[in-house]
Every structure is written in structure tokens, then in C-alpha cells.
Amino acid sequence: MKLADTPVEKIDFFGHSVFVKRDDLLHPEFSGNKARKFRYFLDHDFPHVKRLISFGSPQSNSMYSLSVLAKLKGWQFDFYVDHIAKQILNANEGNFSQARHNGTNFIDLSTVSDRQGRSCSTYIEDLLSKEDETTLFISEGGHCDFAQYGVSLLAAEIVAWMKIEQLGQLVVFLPSGTGTTALYLATYFKAHDCPIEVMTCAAVGDSDYLKQQFSVLVGDTACFPTVLESGKKYHFGKLYYAFYEMWQRLNKTGIEFDLLYDPLGWIVLQSFLTRNDKRPVLYLHQGGLLGNASMLPRYRRKFD
Ligand SMILES: *Cc1c(COP(=O)(O)O)cnc(C)c1O
């Protein structure tokens, strides 16, 4: 299973050279940054654990990778969701259907009798207070400090590459969901005095929400990545023509990107590149291509 040491390629993007760190070439079952964030669980033994619990979107990359983790470890996997739309239930491709194939037990809270109006996260909190050491809980999207272990290995790979390329400075850019990957990269570079600035943008919620997510994991704001604004409000998971157009342009580089995070990432990066900052830029490809199987038909129906 390939979990580290991905290559870096140089692409031409609107007349700018950009390096791309190909974490999409990691093992497909741990889609990109999920391989990094969940690496800790792969490298360590959990002799008491019998069951894994998490919650979030029934289509997420993170949920799919956790289903693989549970399968590898022989754990039961209970995944709590707010509700599951019909077209997701009926899909036979994409994260949900693959996770179900891996034996994931989906608990749709819109159908349980003891919900009592609680939010998904409160419901889980109450549930976990009754659990024991045989249950392992991983918060939504892998937003947890266990992620630091694997993301630091990624950071070290970037530093080693930078030395070989003899680059004196570098900007590492990646779009964020929970911001966990960007945050632990920035924390590592700061702790090791590397001349690398991590830049990101908020694909889920706005920049303030993203910074709040950073502060749940790390207290020192000096370690936070730089958050660039997109200048326009995009809702996570919604379809935008600008995203589809960017995605199609990116395909011409010969590299397939994801349809949820990367179009926004490249839109924001494009505007940064026009600012004529002279530092070389490394874009982190964070995988997520299995999700395209459900996103692409939606885009095609809407815009083709
Ligand atoms: C999960 C994911 C992200 C977001 O990662 P965070 O660490 O939550 O910011 C970005 N891109 C892809 C393709 C992902 O699967």
C-alpha cells in the first residue's frame, strides 16, 4: 500500500509554472490527504478497539477512507449522518456506495426514535459518554490531533524535495475543509524554521470559520497558515460553472483534480499568482478522485 513518497511535477498554469505534489498517487483507498491524516491509525495497534465511530457527510472522502481503515483493522464502523438523500442511496459509484460495500453501518439520525431534536454532533457526544475503550472515535473529516503524525511526514517530504531542488523559499498552497492538513503543515515548517509559507482558502464555511477550526487544534496563532479570500461566496458541495470550467482547464495539464475542493483552490491560487510574488509555488494535490464519480454526472447534467 503506497502511503508516502509521492512525486512532484511541474505544470504550466495560465503562463505560470506551478509544482504539484501528487498525493493523489497514494493508495486510492486512502484518497490523498486522508492517507496522511489517518496514517497514525495505520501505523499503530489498538488492541482494545472493536468499533470505530465517526460522523459527517455520507459522501465524504474521509468517511470512505475510514471504512477502509475499519475493514483493514477488523473493526465495526458506525458512521452517523444527519440524513441520506435518495440519489445517494441509489448511486452505485462513489464514496457512499464503496463504503457500504466495505461494510459501513450508516446510522441515519433522521430515522432514529431517540434523537430528541439533537444535532448530529450532540447526539454523538451523548453517545460517546457511554462508550468504553473498545470504541475509537474520530471527529468529522479527521479534524483531530492524531492527524499531526502523518501530516508531519508529508511536511518532511516537502522539505527534502525543496533541498534537492535547491529552492531558497517556497509557498505551499492547498484548499481546506477542516484545515487540519494546512495547519499541521504550517506548524511543522514553523517548528523546523523552514522558509515555507503555507497558504490556503476555505472551501467549507468562510475564513473566520476556518481560523476557528485551526484554533481548536493549535493555540499559537503564529503557526496558522495564511488564509486567502476567494472574493466570492461559494457553498460547499454546490455546483458552479466557474468550478466546472476551471476543472476542465486543469484536465489539460494531464492531471485529474477533485471537483469539490480543487476548483476553488485553483481559482484562489490563480489570483495569487497574478500578484507577482516571486516565490515558487507547490500545489498539494489531496486526492479525492473517487468522489468525482458522483460529482461529475451532476456537473454534466447541469452544464453540458
Ligand atoms: C478531505 C479533503 C480536503 C480537506 O482537508 P482538510 O484537512 O480537512 O482541510 C481537501 N481536498 C480533498 C480532495 C479532500 O479529500
Tens of pLDDT, residue by residue, the chain (304 residues)? 899 999 999 999 989 999 999 999 999 888 799 999 999 999 999 999 999 999 999 999 999 999 999 999 999 999 999 999 998 999 888 899 999 999 999 999 999 999 999 999 899 999 998 888 999 999 999 999 999 999 999 999 999 999 999 999 999 999 999 999 999 999 999 999 999 999 999 999 999 999 999 999 999 999 999 999 999 999 999 999 999 999 999 999 999 999 999 999 999 999 999 998 999 999 999 999 999 998 999 999 999 9
8 Å CB contact between 60 and 84:
no
pLDDT, position 41: 97
55: β partners: 80
pLDDT, position 30: 87
Q: 21: closest CA among 267, 185, 223, 239?
A: 185
Dihedral Cα 171, 209, 81, 54, nearest 10 deg: 60
Ligand 1 pocket, residue 263 CB under 6 Å: no
Q: What is the C-alpha to C-alpha distance for residues 56 and 65, in angstroms, rounded to an integer?
A: 13
Cell numbers that stand for 95 in this block? 464514496
DSSP E strands: which ranges in 147-218?
170-176, 196-202
Ligand 1 pocket, residue 148 CB under 6 Å: no
Which of 23, 59, 181, 247, when mutated, tests ligand 1's pocket best, judged by the most ligand atoms within 8 Å of its CB? 181
* Strands of the 8-13 sheet, one edge to the other: 8-13, 16-22, 281-285, 170-176, 196-202, 226-227
- Cα 113 to averaged position of ligand 1 atoms, centre (Å): 33
The pTM of the full predicted model, rounded to 2 decimals, is: 0.96
267: burial class by Cβ within 10 Å (0-12, 13-18, 19+)?
Answer: buried
Ligand 1 pocket, residue 287 CB under 6 Å: yes
Ligand 1 pocket, residue 176 CB under 6 Å: yes
Ligand 1 pocket, residue 179 CB under 6 Å: yes
pLDDT, position 129: 86
- Cα 177 to averaged position of ligand 1 atoms, centre (Å): 5
Q: What is the C-alpha to C-alpha distance for residues 176 and 268, in angstroms, rounded to an integer?
A: 12
pLDDT, position 237: 93
Ligand 1 pocket, residue 54 CB under 6 Å: no
8 Å CB contact between 187 and 148:
yes
Ligand 1 pocket, residue 178 CB under 6 Å: yes
pLDDT, position 31: 78
203: burial class by Cβ within 10 Å (0-12, 13-18, 19+)?
Answer: buried
- Cα 33 to averaged position of ligand 1 atoms, centre (Å): 6
- Cα 142 to averaged position of ligand 1 atoms, centre (Å): 9
- Cα 168 to averaged position of ligand 1 atoms, centre (Å): 28
Residue 74, SS3? coil
pLDDT, position 53: 97
Eight-state DSSP code of residue 249 = H
Ligand 1 atom nearest to CA at 261: 11
Cell numbers that stand for 128 in this block? 460517546
Which of 286, 289, 290, 292, when mutated, tests ligand 1's pocket best, judged by the most ligand atoms within 8 Å of its CB? 286
32: burial class by Cβ within 10 Å (0-12, 13-18, 19+)?
Answer: buried
Cell numbers that stand for 133 in this block? 475503550
